[in-house]
Each structure stands twice: as C-alpha cells, then as structure tokens.
Structure 1
Amino acid sequence: MKSIQVFDRSSGGSAAVADAAARGAFAADVEWANKQGARIECISLAEQPGALAQHAVVKDLVERSGQAALPLILVDGEMALSGRHPTRSELARWAGLEQPTLRPIRTGDCCSGGNCG
C-alpha cells in the first residue's frame, strides 16, 4: 500500500476557523481511509517545523509558492496535490482502496420543483 503524507498549516488560527467544515470533512475522510487500511500521515508544519526541512519537495514548494501551496499531499514521496485537501475518492485511489460508494438520496426528505414553503 502506498504511503500518503499530508503537510498542512497549524490546525489553529483564523484560516482554521474559516475552513472548519472542510477540515472536519477531511478528518473524517482520513479516518475512513485509515480504517480501510490506508497509511496516511498528517503533518502540521506549525507543530512540527522540522518536517519542512526533512522533505525537499515540501520545502521547495513552500519557498516558491508560500503558505498558499498548503496543504501539500505526497504519495510515496511524490507531489500529488497542492493547495487543497484531497477528496475521499482521491485518498482511496492513491491508497489503492475500493472507491467509496455514495449513499442514496432519500427523496422523501427534499422538496421538488423548488416549492418549499
């Protein structure tokens, strides 16, 4: 199975507040993938600043593009994605997992024709 590393900013600060829902969804996707057998390591550069120096790909990208390049995802040491968190489907594909299936929409819970009143 492939190794996936996610390099991100700190989980604190104003950016985290703005992205709280996205971060929560991503955390759930990582938990799902890990339960399926994936090997995903999440690295906060604010909490582990030495990690930047240990990974030339990460260091080079952050020096060239700044913090906007984060999150940065490496798959087996190669850059796979930069600037956003991966989707559950992307994590599954990179890890060699079966693609997640969508849950069916319960039609009785929504309005049709835009006539919600």
Structure 2
Amino acid sequence: MKKIAIFDPAMCCSTGVCGPSVDPELTKVAINLGILEKENIEVARYNLSTEPQEFVENSVVRQQLDEHGEQALPLVLVDGEAVKVGDYPTAEEFSEWSGIEKKKFSAEPKSQFTILE
C-alpha cells in the first residue's frame, strides 16, 4: 500500500480554515487527502509547529531542510521518498502517485467560504 506524507511549514492548522482568511490551497490539499484515505491510501500530515519531532526523526526530511532550509516546506514523501519540495501537490500529482484517476481529485476547493464582518 502506498503512503503519502506531507510535511507542512509551521502554521496554526493544516486545514486552511483558521485565522481571518481561508487558504484555498490548504483546503484543496485537505480534500484530496480525504479522497486518498477513502481509497485506502495511507496518508499522514505533519505540522512543524505542532509535531517538530516528526521532522527531526525523518532522515529524508532532515536532509531536505539541511539543503533548502524552510523553503523545502511543504515537503511531500511517497513511500518515504521526497517527490515534491516547496509546494503542495496538484490533482495530477496525487493521481500519479496513488494510481487513482485524476477526476476523483479536487483541482479547486469544493466550497468557498465567505468571511462576514
């Protein structure tokens, strides 16, 4: 079984729905990780601010951080191998790595949030 892990930079949450504005990129990633889980793909997501030990204990992550600093984040590993550095995956990449057809993935967030003042 494939395992896809995302190592996020330090942030208050990985969903993109905290703070004064919603980050559609983080929302899209969260949706796509949910799709992977439903398809029985093992997924993990680590946040530097809340799970720093995961970054220290993983030699691939440590190497990328040594080489690129925080610019390496977000970092995506598939089966323990770095496949994307410094950016979140696209629907095409999730499809390629998982073997699940691209049309199942969200290229855009499924819902837009409006912040009322």
Q: TM-score scaled by structure 1?
A: 0.74
- Deviations along 1:55-74, one digit per CA (max 9) or x if unpaired, are 11101111221111101011
Aligned residues: 101
Contact in 2 for aligned 1:38/1:97 (Cα 8 Å): no
Other-structure match for 1:12: 12
Q: Which has the higher helix share?
A: 1
What code does the residue aligned with 1:97 have?
A: I
| RMSD value, Cα | 2.4
- Distance in 2 of aligned mates of 1:9 and 1:64: 16
- Distance in 2 of aligned mates of 1:66 and 1:82: 11
> Identity of counterpart residues, as a percentage?
28
Residue 96 of structure 1 deviates from its aligned partner by: 2.0
- Distance in 1 of aligned mates of 2:102 and 2:82: 21
Unmatched 5+ stretches in structure 2? 106-117
Other-structure match for 2:94: 91
The structure-2 alpha-carbon separation of the partners of 1:19 and 1:60, relative to structure 1 and needing over 3 Å to count, comes to: farther
Aligned residue for 2:11, secondary structure, equals coil
Aligned counterparts, 1:24-35, within 5 A: 24-35=27-38
- Distance in 2 of aligned mates of 1:101 and 1:36: 10
Residue 37 of structure 1 deviates from its aligned partner by: 2.0
Runs of 4+ residues deviating >3 angstroms = 16-19
Residue 52 of structure 1 deviates from its aligned partner by: 1.4
User: In terms of Rg, which structure is larger?
Assistant: 1
Other-structure match for 1:45: 48
Asked whether 1:65 is paired with 2:64, we answer no
Contact in 2 for aligned 1:33/1:92 (Cα 8 Å): no
